[in-house]
Chain A
Amino acid sequence: MRRPSWRWAVVTTAIVAAVLFPLYWAVISSFTPESRLFAAPSLVPEALVLDHYRALFDARDFWTPIRNSLIVAGMTTLLSVTLGAGCAYALARLQFPGKAVTLAFVLAVSMFPQISIVSPLYLMLREVGLLNTYPGLVLPYLTFAMPLTIWMLVGFFRQLPAELEEAAFMDGASWFQMMWRVLLPAAMPGLIAAGMFAFMTAWNDYLFAVILTSTTAAKTLPVVVAGFATDVTTERTLMATSGVLAIIPPLLLAFLFQRLIIQGLTSGAVKD
């Protein structure tokens, strides 16, 4: 362990302050009465009101986009983790021809610029009538969630000691039993980390959501938040408020699973 010096402590504090300041600003704005928002801003708020939060939920039916985002992100996570885990295990532990090509293919897909596939997705979904529906968002989200999950889990599975599986087989377990009873529990941290990444990516997406949904009933959170910002009148305050609310689920996840996220990102290389 490097000897910590006070210089580094100062640097860290400065960085943390810089990181937190805009968040502080957004939170303060969400509680600031409308008239003050256009006047010269002050760092310490003079008045705090709950009006905007009330307006958001009463007048603007904010629960719908929250619900939509939760359902879409949740479904994306579930599908990409369950299907992706199987694929990742095959790529990590099993031998079969075309493995390197498959891995390269998955990696390549994760590099696709979203804009490049959005127009055919739009046309495809329009033809089958899936615009403004949950599957109509979940399927496109799998485009980037699935490769991401596979990629993360491949790294994670490779880190797991081979003895785990060997021991299970020595005890006479079949592939299925080995996977269900031994591998899954051992891989749980990796699965959770991968799941959280998939959730965050789906929760935060804007491009696909804004193009593939247009009805109020189908819109997700980022679209609604961005929509507030263009409505210049009272909606700026709603934007700050809705933005703050949109942060909460990812924030909770970041707080609760900070260790797992870091482990997942670095395949367990970063020590606590």
Chain B
Amino acid sequence: MTSRPAASSRADGGTSSRELRLAWALASPALSIIALVALFPILWTFWESLHLHDLRMPWLGRPFVGVSNYVEALGAARFWTALGHTAFFVVASLVIELSGGLLLAMALDRVTQARGLVRTAVLLPWAIPTVVVALVWRFMFESPGGLANALLAGAGLGTPTWFADAAAAWVPLLLADAWKTTPFVAILLLAGLQTIDRTLYEAAEVDGAGAWRQFADITLPLLKPALLVAGLFRSLDAFRVFDLVYVMTGGGPGTATEPIALYTFITLLQNLRFGLGSALSIVVFAVAFFFALGVIRLFGSGAFLERAA
């Protein structure tokens, strides 16, 4: 019907070679850069993980050691504790941020005045470098002289030494992460909220359903795809957490708040054991990869491709 060299309307379902060439011409610069700076390094990391490579001991050389780095990595108790901390952080931050994000999204949906201003205010934490967020919150919870303890003391409550207590140290971490990320999640959920047909609510109202009923029966089910996407991306980000913890607690007290990325960093860049650190890196990568794969499989790739579409 038209003479355009497009593809999808061709009756025979094939692709023109011009289009093919054009597609690769457009895509290859970007793809080759990604291959260079992402794919190649991950392959190199895998290669390194099979060798002994200690930067501080050049006289040991770089011999091939097979899987012994992996054996050592997976055999270290500190690895499993770090993984456990990471899992805890992922779950806790997910719960806080999804529920907080949902609340915030519903509030944003109903705001009529100063809409732009409110949305900007809400976007600010996302715009701030994580390092700055970590430092601001660290100083708020410091002892002595921290704002948190000053407020608690003023209210007559106890003043724990936040960063010297293995359990309490998680509080500023989770608060800072929630502060920074909840607005982002809220915006994602807001999109989902706004696609819900209003007439459904009106019908429910007519049927006499209260606000809570409407939320449980209409909002939540229809929001599921958005919640899943937001949930997957947030949990992947939480799994990779580094800046926040490194700057705020350094993994302490002891190693009580050390996530897997920080443990890998210490092995690589402080202890300079590149072979072992590479094995750890591959394990971290594999966990992230299979987790994402599992979630996508479980909930159907449709939800995610829909999002990217």
Contact = CB atoms under 8 A, between A and B. Distances in A.
Tell me if chains A and B make direct contact, with any CB pair below 8 A. yes
Interface of A: 1-5, 8-9, 11-12, 15-16, 18-20, 22-23, 25-26, 29, 37-41, 79, 83-84, 86-87, 89-91, 94-97, 102-103, 105-109, 111-121, 123-124, 139-140, 142-143, 146-147, 150-151, 154-155, 158, 165-166, 169-170, 175, 200, 203-204, 206-207, 211, 221-222, 225-226, 229, 236, 239-240, 243, 246-247, 250-251, 253-255, 258-259, 261-262, 265-267, 269-272
A146 to B, nearest CB: 6
Question: For this complex, into which size category does the number of interface residues on chain B fall?
Answer: 35 or more
B93 interface: no
A83 B127 contact: no
25 contacts: A12-B108, A16-B118, A25-B147, A26-B136, A39-B145, A90-B24, A95-B19, A106-B34, A108-B292, A111-B288, A114-B261, A115-B242, A119-B277, A119-B278, A120-B40, A123-B44, A139-B33, A207-B242, A229-B138, A243-B136, A246-B132, A258-B123, A262-B119, A269-B191, A270-B190
B247 A226 contact: yes
A4 B187 CA distance: 18
A222 B36 CA distance: 26
Given A166-B2, A170-B4, A142 B292 contact: no
B163 to A, nearest CB: 13
B271 interface: no
B58 interface: no
Contacts of A19: 121-122, 124-125, 179, 183
Contact of A41 (B106, B126, B146, B201): B146
A109 B288 CA distance: 11
Given A16-B122, A95-B8, A109-B39, A87 B27 contact: yes
A92 to B, nearest CB: 9
Given A94-B7, A94-B23, 19 more contacts: A1-B112, A2-B201, A4-B112, A19-B121, A22-B179, A25-B140, A38-B145, A83-B33, A112-B288, A113-B288, A114-B261, A117-B38, A120-B42, A166-B4, A206-B129, A222-B132, A236-B139, A240-B135, A247-B132
A140 B37 contact: yes
B27 A108 contact: no
B240 A114 contact: yes
Interface string B257-284: 0000100110011000010011001101
Contacts of A115: 240, 242, 261, 264-265, 268, 281, 284
Interface SS majority for chain B = helix
B56 interface: no
A253 B127 contact: yes
Nearest to B42: A117
Contacts of B3: 169
Given A5-B110, A103-B308, A37 B268 contact: no
B169 interface: no
Contacts of B133: 22
A66 B3 CA distance: 52
A154 B308 contact: yes
A213 to B, nearest CB: 13
A240 B42 CA distance: 37
Interface of B: 2-8, 15, 19-20, 22-27, 29-31, 33-34, 36-42, 44-45, 48, 103-104, 106-112, 115-116, 118-140, 145-147, 150, 179, 183-184, 187-188, 190-192, 194-195, 198, 201, 236, 239-240, 242-243, 246-247, 261, 264-265, 268-269, 274, 277-278, 281-282, 284-285, 288-289, 292, 305, 307-309
Q: Which of B48, B239, B281 has the most CB of A within 10 A?
A: B281
Given A102-B27, A119-B274, A40 B123 contact: no
B273 to A, nearest CB: 10
A12 B119 CA distance: 11
Given A206-B129, A206-B131, A112 B38 contact: yes
A175 B5 contact: yes
Q: Which of A165, A258, A272 has the most CB of B within 10 A?
A: A258
Contacts of B5: 169, 175
Contacts of B192: 269
Contacts of A169: 2-6
A251 B127 contact: yes
